[in-house]
Structures are given as C-alpha cells and as structure tokens.
Amino acid sequence: MKTLTIALLSLALAACAQGARDTKPARDYYGTLEPMASDAVYFVVTDRFVNGDTSNDHREQGGPDPATRTFDRPVPGAPPGQSDNIGYLGGDFKGLLDNADYIRDMGFGAVWLTPIIDNPDQAFTGGDAVTWGGAFQDRGKTGYHGYWGVDFYRLDEHLPSRDLDFAGLTGGLKRHGLKTVLDIVANHGSPSFTMPVDQPKYGEIYRDGVLVADHQNLAPEQLDPAHNPLHRFFHNQKDLVQLSNIDDTNPPVLDYFVDAYSQWIDQGADAFRIDTIRHMPPAFWKRFSDRIRAKRPGFFMFGEAFDYKAENIAPFTWARNGGVSVLDFPLKERMAQVFGRKRGDFSLLAERLYLTDGPYANPYELMTFYDNHDMPRLDASDEGFIDAHHWLFTARGIPVIYYGSEVGFERGRAEHAGNRNYFGQQRIDAARGNPIRESLKRIAKVREASPALQRGLQLNVELRGDRTVFYRVYEHAGQAQIALVLLNKGDAAAQFEVSEYLQAGRWRAALGGGEVDVAEGGSLRASVPAHGVEVYFLDRPVVREDLRLALDHAMGHAWRR
C-alpha cells in the first residue's frame, strides 16, 4: 500500500509539473499571418493550358498573310520530335474552369493566370525573327501570352466564352476552392517600333476602346511627349526589346493602371502578380499599392524581379516601397542546383533562406518556385521533381508550381524551345497516377492541413548532403502546432535520430501514419525512404526552454522593421 501511495503521489506531482509547463504564458510564434500563405499556387499560361471552347479560337485572325496570321505559328528549326509555337493555340477560361477540380485535387488553393487584357490582332513584323531556342526575339510572335497589352480595360477575345467572362471564371474557381491570382503589367505595352509598316494596335494603348496613346512606330528617341499628347504615356528611352516603355512619372499613367486593375479586382481577382516590377521604380509601386489597398485593404501582391541577388530584389518588399512580395529568384537558382541533374548538396539552400536578419521585409511571404515561363523548365529526373516538391511544400515561403511540372512536362526546355507548349486535356486526363503528381499531391495535402507548414517559423537543424531536418512552429490566437520535417533526396532509405529542440509529447506522422511518444530529453528515430519525406506533428504549445529561446530569437529577427 505504501508503494502504491508513493507511485500515485509521483504521478500527481509529474502531472502538476507538466501542467505548469503547459500553462506558461502563451507567446506568438509565426513566420507570417498573411492569408495568402495558406494557398499553394498553380501557374498557367492560359492559352497553353486547355482549349475548352473552340468558338473563341479566331483561327482566321490576322488574315491570310502568313506573316501576320495569329493562330498556330510553329517556331522554325525544331529538331525532330520537338516543337514550339508562337501563335495562339486555343487555351481559354473554359478550359481552365473545366479542370479546376484537377488543380484543386492536387492541394492547390490558388491559380495564377497570365494577363487577360486585349492584345494585338496580328503577329508582330518588327524586331528580330524568332528562332529555335532564341531569346529576346519577337518577329513572328503573337500576344498569346497576354503581356503585350493594348486595352487594359478589355478582355482578350481569345479567353472568354459567350457565357463565361472573367467574373464568371473567378466565381467558378472560388466554388472549387481556388483563389485567382491575376498577372498584371504596367511597365510596358505591346511592341511599338521597327515594323516595316505600322500595324494596327501595336504601340497603341486604349481605355475601353478609346485611344489614349500611340507610339506611331517611332523609335523611343523620336518620341515627343512634350508636344504630342499621344506620346505622353511613354518614356523616350528604350527598355525591353521593342516594347513601349511606360512613363511611370506621368500621373495619368498611374490613374490608368489603378482604375484598370481595380476593375478586375471588382470582378474577382484575389491577388496580383506584377510583371517586370524592377523596370519601374519603387516610388511608382508605392503609389500604386497604396491606392489599390485603399480600396481593398491587405490586398496581396508579388512581383517579378528577375535577379538572383537578394539585395537587389528585397527593396520592393519594404513597406516604404509598397510592401510588395517578390518571386524568390535567389532561392530558385539554388533549387535548380540541388534538385536538377547535378543533385547538389542541401546546404546550398541554407544561405538563401534569410530566416533571420535578411534583406526582405518578410522571407516567409516570398513566392518560392524552381522554374517558370521565362526560363528553362527544371531539368531533373522524376525523383528530382519529387524532391523539389517535398522541399517547396514544407520550407518557408508560398510554393508556386508551373503548369505541367506535376508530370515533368517539357523538362529542361527554354522559351522558343518548348517551355510554353500546349498541355491539353489529354495530358491532364493521363496525369492522374503519375508518380510526380501523386507525390506532389501527398505533400501538398499535408501543407494544406497544417498551419505550421503554411505560416510557421522555420528553425533549421540540419541541411547537409542528401538530408534535411528542420522545424516549423506556429503558435498564435489559441492555435499551436510544431512540425518536424525530415527530407531525404538520396537513392537509399535514410535513418534519422532527432533530439535537438525536440519537445516531449506524442508526435504523429503525417505521411507514414502512426504516433511516436517522446519522453522528456528523448529523441525521435525514423526511417525516411529514398526520395522521401516525413513530417511529424505535435499539436501543443511550445514549452521546451531551448526551443522557446531559439524561436524568440527567430521571431525577433525574421522581419525587416
């Protein structure tokens, strides 16, 4: 009886001690509270996704002249068995909406689509002729991609259907659980000079059908904005190839774009991706973002600043410059090295995370990716794609996947060499069961259900060789979760034993299933298969002291104040 009494007393004291630990004052631990962080993003070039409505193909557009027709323009010089196309191929809103469940089923919460605005109705006849694998070449190309805006208030006629406009698309996507990220452009319009004969719409800008600016096929240095009202939207210095260079200092220009893009917000756009953001100064984006957010507080935006140096792209994220997030190009560069054919060391990623004292306003709000439409697709094996997705959906940032990467579509291909080729319904129907897609779906679903993986602080334990161990910790507003992430990109199973910062409790395995009880001061042992991932969750507040101290430091140094 005495032994039993002592045992019961010991249990009671242990329970009290545990209760005391669990009732320590709650602290906030999070990387970001941005709502968009919950939603992984699937990026489509709309014309190249799925042709859901052939009645809007406009196959005769541009007339019979082979130099100006707009539909189906193969790039010459393709090697046998390869192709690329610089004409319209029919992808539209209906094709996207018809496959919303396909996207949602993979665990994505948002779709980023290329610009929807009206583009010219002929192929461009100026500039340098497009060649296989070439770059900065536009002769023979059309505005199928949407980035050659002419009227920023009207839809490109190739995208809507009779019963499906942009508002219908965004509403339909929402019914499937998907937000809409709209790609916007303010730096440039269409190609505007070097044409043998001035072509309709090229170099022109309209406001809902009314002409407001015209380059008149003149070289930038020939423009006379001081005396010709049609030139006042443009700088008289060249910027990108033959594209018009919009004058960011002209107040009516700002009014034009704020009003245009506010219209698309009113029709359901949930966020903006800003094209060529670094080609206009931060002062312009500060004015633009302030006015957009005055109408829609907290509206999320991220920009494309194609630069692998963090110090060059980070200023756009600072509040005084507009507080616009950016695509994480510096991390992308290292991801290609780690997950591509060279299979580099995980340590290459560590210094590009900038988890503390980095240049970004908030590294957890960066858009993380490994390729897109403006660069060669990731050149990797199936296992390389699987490993890349395991990283993207567990590490800090908001993951973005380019259409087709779920099956390794056109891997390694650059623009004008297949990067933006047509995907199509047949490939979508065949994608289910693909090993890349199935592994992507598994880890994306884990992230989708985890506040720690979406918004938690990241605390690295090991990034070395083919192995990675880190924590993601979220504790805010009564919700608490600790995630322990184990990654193995090696060709054989890897054994992990983790004790550093490991809090006692019952940890559940998200992928392998089952639970592991960890005693105070104990360790967690796990085997992770080749090219595999495991995530263990503990849904309790942080009570371990050294973990608290590490998180306090991370919380105090994660953001640029």
Identify whether the C-beta of residue 443 lies closer than 8 Å to the C-beta of residue 387: no
Tell me, what's the pLDDT at 85? Answer: 98
pLDDT at 205 over 70: yes
CA–CA gap between residue 141 and residue 88 (Å, rounded): 9
The DSSP code for 150 is S
CA–CA gap between residue 413 and residue 438 (Å, rounded): 23
Tell me, what's the pLDDT at 162? Answer: 96
State in Å, rounded, how far the first CA of the chain is from the last one: 62
CA–CA gap between residue 39 and residue 18 (Å, rounded): 36
Identify whether the C-beta of residue 507 lies closer than 8 Å to the C-beta of residue 516: yes
Tell me, what's the pLDDT at 1? Answer: 41
* Average pLDDT value for residue range 97-114: 98
**Structure-block tokens of residue 550:** 């590490």
**Structure-block tokens of residue 523:** 């360790």
Mean of per-residue pLDDT scores for the chain: 95
Tell me, what's the pLDDT at 27? Answer: 83
DSSP reduced 3-state for 389? helix
Identify whether the C-beta of residue 416 lies closer than 8 Å to the C-beta of residue 131: yes
The DSSP code for 420 is T
Tell me, what's the pLDDT at 558? Answer: 83
Tell me, what's the pLDDT at 129? Answer: 97
pLDDT digits (tens, 9 = 90+) for 370-389: 999 999 999 999 999 999 99
- For the chain, residues classed under CATH 3.20.20.80 are 40-305
Among 15-29, 173-187, 321-335, 544-558, which is the least confidently predicted range?
Answer: 15-29
pLDDT digits (tens, 9 = 90+) for 63-94: 999 999 999 999 999 999 999 999 999 999 99
Q: Which CATH number fits domain 40-305: 3.20.20.80, 3.40.47.10, 3.40.50.620, 3.30.70.20?
A: 3.20.20.80
Among 4-8, 469-473, 523-527, which is the least confidently predicted range?
Answer: 4-8
pLDDT at 5 over 50: no
| CATH hierarchy code of domain 455-556 | 2.60.40.1180
Contact residues for 498 (Cβ-Cβ < 8 A; gap 6+): 461, 469, 484, 486, 523, 524, 526
* Average pLDDT value for residue range 154-178: 98
pLDDT at 9 over 60: no
Q: How confident is the model at residue 559 (pLDDT cuts 50, 70, 90)?
A: confident
Closest CA to 119 of 202, 209, 214: 202
- For the chain, residues classed under CATH 2.60.40.1180 are 455-556
Q: 24 versus 161: which is more confidently predicted?
A: 161
pLDDT digits (tens, 9 = 90+) for 398-423: 999 999 999 999 999 999 999 999 99
* Average pLDDT value for residue range 465-478: 97
Helices vs. strands in the chain: H and E counts, helices first: 14, 20
* Angle, CA of 482, 487 and 488, to the nearest 5°: 160
* Average pLDDT value for residue range 108-127: 98
pLDDT at 23 over 80: no
pLDDT at 329 over 80: yes
Q: How confident is the model at residue 144 (pLDDT cuts 50, 70, 90)?
A: very high
CA–CA gap between residue 410 and residue 420 (Å, rounded): 9
* Average pLDDT value for residue range 493-512: 98
Across 124-161, b (16+ Cβ under 10 Å) vs e yields bbbbeebebbeeebbbbbbbbbbbbbbbbbbbbebbbb
Tell me, what's the pLDDT at 561? Answer: 52
Q: How confident is the model at residue 21 (pLDDT cuts 50, 70, 90)?
A: very low
pLDDT at 509 over 60: yes
Contact residues for 413 (Cβ-Cβ < 8 A; gap 6+): 376, 377, 419, 421
* Average pLDDT value for residue range 449-465: 98
* Average pLDDT value for residue range 203-229: 97
Identify whether the C-beta of residue 15 lies closer than 8 Å to the C-beta of residue 375: no
pLDDT at 48 over 70: yes
Query: What DSSP letter does each residue of 485-541 carry, written as one string?
Result: EEEE-SSS-EEEEE-TTPPSEEEEETTT--EEEE-TT--EEEEE-TTEEEEEEE-S-
Identify whether the C-beta of residue 130 lies closer than 8 Å to the C-beta of residue 119: no
Tell me, what's the pLDDT at 26? Answer: 62
Tell me, what's the pLDDT at 25? Answer: 55
- Within 367-421, where are the H helices? 382-392
Tell me, what's the pLDDT at 403? Answer: 98
pLDDT at 297 over 50: yes
